Structure 1
Amino acid sequence: MTTHVPVDVRRPAADEQKLPLLALLALATAVFITSLTETLPAGLLPAMSTDLHVSESATGQTVTIYAIGTALTAIPLTAATAAWRRKRLLLTAMAGFAVANTVTAVSTSYSLTMAARFVAGVAAGLAWALLAGYARRMAPAHLQGRAMAISMAGIPVALSLGVPAGTFLGKALSWQTAFLAMTGLTVVLLGWIAAAVPDHPGQRQSDSPPMLRALRVPGVTPVLFVTLVLVLAHTILYTFIATFLDEVGMGGSTDLVLLAFGIASLVSIWVVGAQINRRLRTLMIVNTLLIAVAAAALALLSDSQVLVYAAVTLWGLGWGGAPTLLQTAVADAGGDSADAAQAMLVTSWNGAMAGGGVVGGILLDLLGSRSFPWSVLVFLAPVLVVVLAARTHGFPAKRAGTAP
């Protein structure tokens, strides 16, 4: 993890006005690869399950095992590599993706595929604990929120372009081609990082606050709870979106539906990047409500293709900015313990991803895919309650250190 830099309200000097866009875009591409590697099976489940000779619910666990790899290793690996130079650590993590995606593409064994996906999750644990803090360190204090928004833009781009493109490649050529394309992009990114991303030193082990100390900081626990439950709700539906669309007669439109979701996510992250310094709490409330309205529409109105597209658009508008909002909230709340708080957020996020895959698979087998939107509504209720209650710490009405 990198060192937390508190918000500074001094007037910036002229040479501090600009962001290192080329370097931030490299980080955004790393986020893109991390996100797309995790979610790519969502658009490829039927083809993957056929070739691997397992059910679609079993194939959905390729998302689960990835998330388990991240959840189990993010905290211990972050501590073990705390003294590493940041660029070296980022290059190592991205090389892990290249290896794991290549093995996934050439594997004909479900067991080997699951092992490769676990390795990819381990690489993600390193990357996620590093990327948000890396972006903050490259920007002056008054532009840190915008720097994080740029780097996190890789998530909605992965959803708006990556997953639909991967789904298209899977249909036109093969699902293996989609994973090999990820390997090629990762190799290009390794050169880009080496050339354009500034290096930063690691930190002494003694600089990393204990996890229990971070949990005692007011505001950290509410943000971690919201992260866990919100991501769980989202993952249940997103992992099995192709299966849900098959059920409502839109199986042939999975790539277009994901495109609509992703474009809306891009709009969301743009709005969040522009408004997060002053309206983090409001944005978190509004985004949660948008996802709830979308889930209700999918539960009640999925017989209309137009309304499905409208619901998915609202879902994207609510979801796209969530990573930036939650990472900023936990960094603000953590203060001197921000490094430990970020590592726990990564673990909570990916624990929820793992749980979402498992819960979704159980729901699919017991109740069918139409139960997914209802489950989202059930989980969002406590999320909204906690966000509303965390007015002083966690999701404050006014961020500390911001100008009035």
Structure 2
Amino acid sequence: MSTSPTQQAVGQQAVGRPTAGRNPPGLPWSPLLALALAAFMGILTEALPAGVLPEMARDLSVGEPAMGQALTVYAIATGVSAIPVVVATAAWRRKRLLLLAVAAFAVANTITAVSSDYALTMVFRVVAGVAAAVVWAELVGYARRLAPPHLQGRAIAVTMAGIPLALSLGIPLGTFLGELFGWRLTFGLVALVSVALLGWILAAVPDAPGRRPEHREPVLRALRLPGVLAVLFVVAAYILAHNILYTYIAAFLDTYEMGASRDTVLLVFGIASLLSILITGALVDRRLRHLTIASTVLFAVAAVLLILLAVFPGTVIVYGAMVLWGLGWGGVSTLLQTAVNDVGGDRGQALLVTTWNSFMAGGGAAGGLLLDTLGPASFPWSVLALLVPVLLVVVAARAHGFPAERPGAS
């Protein structure tokens, strides 16, 4: 994975590269785990409404499709602001920028917990979405600076472990607490965790300078680099498929009389996601292409199982599909973050944040449209239709995008 001289210098300042003759450095666990918690908070803040959607809709006096747009506006804010935020804050100290983003999570979740006004809630969902753009833009760069070149993929995997942990532990626990004590308490607890994270970042995460003007290049120019468009297409279609189904998973489960098992279903999905991230972290530096193909196939088979529910309804099929979906989904963030950084560096990362969140928003909007017109049974068909071209692109991008051997991984 190529880095600029400036990035290499920052990495040396941050973690202190050993001189020749010493043992190769390992991973700095405390700062990486703090970054993983920041990823956890970003996903938890974004996706928590999916687990308590009916309750939020009822208390804010709106329909479930309207409440589902709480995920949509968050993702739109992240996607639209990603590139402008990266450009505008390029010269800032990186630690200060990360602290501001986490503080914004704390404020936004506090307002959500106490607000009784739908419009006010949506405004602070936008604020949280902009904060997420900062977090996603910083995490991979930090992970790369903190790790030696041969462990950068693994460092990214550790940092991105916050995503499946949010899905496996945070969302099901939030759903359970929301049902037991109310969804407002859940958002209040998320705000408290954000405050605690501020202290951890202050204590453990090293600072790094911003980039000087002479070292900045136009972000959109990265689109010309070989492999960047292939990776971004996979990001767009995969994330769209995932969010069509995940945003309205409560409505889908209600169709098959499993709404009462929502927290258990999400827990099974999340545990499978966690297993996936462990496998991905161990193999990403050597098997990125194979893991991406496997991830797509697993999700596609899960969609087929959910389609079969219309003919063979049963809880076994639902849980089997959740396991396969989780195994496919858990490592996706690590795989795609690593792939785009291999071919596009920091500029590719900014494009990925925009693409990821724009199509995450598109998933919420498309899912709401499908819910109103064709019903929840249409979700797995849409997933399958999107994953077929994903698989074709990954298989075809053998030279650039998803090569058999990652550059610099040896």
TM-score of the alignment, normalized to the shorter chain, above 0.5: yes
In the alignment, does 2:206 pair up with 1:188? no
SS in structure 1 opposite 2:208? Answer: coil
The answer to whether the Cα contact below 8 Å between 1:37 and 1:182 also exists between their aligned partners in 2 is yes
In the alignment, does 2:331 pair up with 1:324? no
The aligned residue for residue 181 of structure 2 is 173
In the alignment, does 2:317 pair up with 1:307? yes
The aligned residue for residue 343 of structure 1 is 350
Match of 2:68 among 55, 60, 64: 60
Structure 2 letter corresponding to 1:363: L
What is the distance in 1 between the residues matched to 2:161 and 2:270? 11
In the alignment, does 2:395 pair up with 1:388? yes
Structure 2 letter corresponding to 1:388: V
Deviation, 1:201, is 1.1
The aligned residue for residue 300 of structure 2 is 292
- Structure 2 gap segments, 5+ residues each: 9-17
In the alignment, does 2:116 pair up with 1:108? yes
Map residues 56-135 of structure 1 onto 2, 5 A cutoff.
56-135=64-143
Deviation, 1:207, is 1.9
SS in structure 2 opposite 1:370? Answer: helix
Deviation, 1:301, is 2.8
Structure 2 letter corresponding to 1:74: A
What is the distance in 1 between the residues matched to 2:169 and 2:403? 34
Where in structure 1 do 4 or more consecutive aligned residues deviate above 6 Å? Answer: none
Deviation, 1:188, is 0.3
The aligned residue for residue 246 of structure 1 is 254
Matched-pair identity in %: 61
SS in structure 2 opposite 1:377? Answer: helix
What is the distance in 2 between the residues matched to 1:212 and 1:23? 30
What is the distance in 2 between the residues matched to 1:182 and 1:371? 33
What is the distance in 2 between the residues matched to 1:57 and 1:191? 37
The answer to whether the Cα contact below 8 Å between 1:103 and 1:113 also exists between their aligned partners in 2 is yes
The aligned residue for residue 219 of structure 1 is 227
Deviation, 1:191, is 0.3
The answer to whether the Cα contact below 8 Å between 2:222 and 2:347 also exists between their aligned partners in 1 is yes
Deviation, 1:210, is 1.1
What is the distance in 1 between the residues matched to 2:215 and 2:375? 49
The answer to whether the Cα contact below 8 Å between 1:128 and 1:346 also exists between their aligned partners in 2 is yes
| Residues 182-228 of structure 1: per-residue CA shift (max 9 Å, x gap) | 00000000000000111111111332321332000000110011101
The aligned residue for residue 149 of structure 2 is 141
The answer to whether the Cα contact below 8 Å between 1:79 and 1:205 also exists between their aligned partners in 2 is no
What is the distance in 2 between the residues matched to 1:87 and 1:211? 22
SS in structure 1 opposite 2:402? Answer: coil
Stretch of structure 1 that moved more, 162-171 or 295-304: 295-304
| Residues 208-256 of structure 1: per-residue CA shift (max 9 Å, x gap) | 3213320000001100111011000000000000111111111011111
TM-score, length basis structure 1: 0.95
Match of 1:210 among 208, 218, 233: 218
The answer to whether the Cα contact below 8 Å between 2:106 and 2:195 also exists between their aligned partners in 1 is yes
Structure 2 letter corresponding to 1:322: V
What is the distance in 2 between the residues matched to 1:261 and 1:14? 43
Deviation, 1:141, is 1.0
SS in structure 1 opposite 2:403? Answer: coil
Deviation, 1:12, is 8.2
What is the distance in 2 between the residues matched to 1:205 and 1:96? 27
The answer to whether the Cα contact below 8 Å between 2:149 and 2:408 also exists between their aligned partners in 1 is no
The answer to whether the Cα contact below 8 Å between 2:238 and 2:386 also exists between their aligned partners in 1 is yes
What is the distance in 1 between the residues matched to 2:239 and 2:379? 14
Deviation, 1:13, is 5.6
SS in structure 1 opposite 2:157? Answer: helix
Return closer, same or farther for 1:13/1:177 CA change in 2, 3 Å cut-off: farther
Match of 2:368 among 361, 365, 373: 361
Deviation, 1:3, is 5.7
The answer to whether the Cα contact below 8 Å between 1:209 and 1:339 also exists between their aligned partners in 2 is no
| Residues 308-350 of structure 1: per-residue CA shift (max 9 Å, x gap) | 001101000000000000010001011xxx1111001000000
What is the distance in 2 between the residues matched to 1:237 and 1:253? 16
TM-score, length basis structure 2: 0.94
The answer to whether the Cα contact below 8 Å between 1:60 and 1:239 also exists between their aligned partners in 2 is yes
What is the distance in 2 between the residues matched to 1:195 and 1:15? 26
What is the distance in 2 between the residues matched to 1:171 and 1:123? 28
Match of 2:269 among 255, 261, 265: 261
Return closer, same or farther for 1:14/1:306 CA change in 2, 3 Å cut-off: farther
Stretch of structure 1 that moved more, 143-152 or 10-19: 10-19
The answer to whether the Cα contact below 8 Å between 1:3 and 1:133 also exists between their aligned partners in 2 is no
Deviation, 1:14, is 4.1
In the alignment, does 2:388 pair up with 1:378? no
